[in-house]
Amino acid sequence: MKVIHTEADWNKYWLDCIKTDKNIGLVPTMGALHQGHLDLVRQAKSSTDIVIASIFVNPTQFNNQEDFDNYPITLEQDLEKLEKEKVDYVFVPDTDTMYPSQPKLSIDFGELERVLEGAFRPGHFNGVGIIVAKLFNIIRPHKAFFGQKDLQQTGIIKRLVSDLSIPVQLEIVPTRREKDGLAMSSRNVRLSQEERQASLLLYSSLTKAKEELLAKQPWLKVQQQIHRDFEQAPLAKLEYFELIHPESFEGYSEFDLKQKSSICVAAYIGNVRLIDNLPIIP
């Protein structure tokens, strides 16, 4: 496994890949790797010839400085995990490499970014769009791999690729969960033992709502009950719990078995913000 830090370093290896007609798979990460990230790596290894993972905590997608400052940095352990998975290359740029100057460009994803995460994290998806576009332009992968846990982010990246005609194929990998259902996230390590137990409310709410909807309970009634459940949980503060179309992210006021649908949730557990989602009708 080779660790590289600059675009110039990668260009040498990229030329070798192209000369030998090898397909390149990119797994973009912000580090603090868990099994969900490694699922992406394994999917990349099974469907491409050369796998490159990137590790970069992108400052432009954080609308909360405290969240950025507290984001876990575990580079040594991350590299060990990637080497065990037999990743070919790891791109670990510093901020000056990715942002030699402050970006002047702004990307507006329209209504797709004005709901859910976009509504609560203004500027977040602009930062996501810029860094993903940079990585696609630097690495020039044939395929890129993202997790379903960040459902709205995958929608944003699909729009980016489609609207800018970026020649990369996206593969979305199902959410990896702990045995008790909690979606794996780099932020989970910041939870205290008590908060970790409280965090189970996210997944239990999703599964409870899905069961109620499939039992033909009205969505608004289900949603109101979930809000009450969170209000009774002292360590949890709900931001949103919405039934949406998983591609347009348009919100539904009623559930229809004939329409694609997913439920998305975001909540603070203590000072840690977590998100999750669950498909109802894929």
Binding annotation? 30-37, 61, 147-150, 153, 184-187
Please give the C-alpha separations between residue 180 and each of 75, 197, 212, in angstroms, as whole numbers: 27, 10, 20
In the 8-state DSSP scheme, what is residue 96? H
Annotated binding site for ATP: 30-37, 147-150, 184-187
The amino acid sitting at 232 is: Q
- 211's CB contacts (< 8 A; 6+ apart) are none
Q: What are phi and psi of 248, to 5 degrees?
A: -90, -20
Annotated binding site for (R)-pantoate: 61, 153
Question: Which one of the listed residues 37, 142, 227, 245 is annotated catalytic?
Answer: 37
Active site residue 37: yes
User: DSSP E strands: which ranges in 47-103?
Assistant: 50-55, 89-91
**Secondary structure element (H or E) that encloses residue 267, with its range:** strand 261-269
Task: Describe the crossing of helices 219-231 and 200-214 by its angle, rounded to 10 degrees.
Answer: 160
Annotated binding site for beta-alanine: 61
In the 8-state DSSP scheme, what is residue 140? -
N- to C-terminal Cα distance for the chain?
37
Q: How far apart are CA 125 and CA 156, in angstroms?
A: 7
- Among all residues, which ones are annotated catalytic? 37
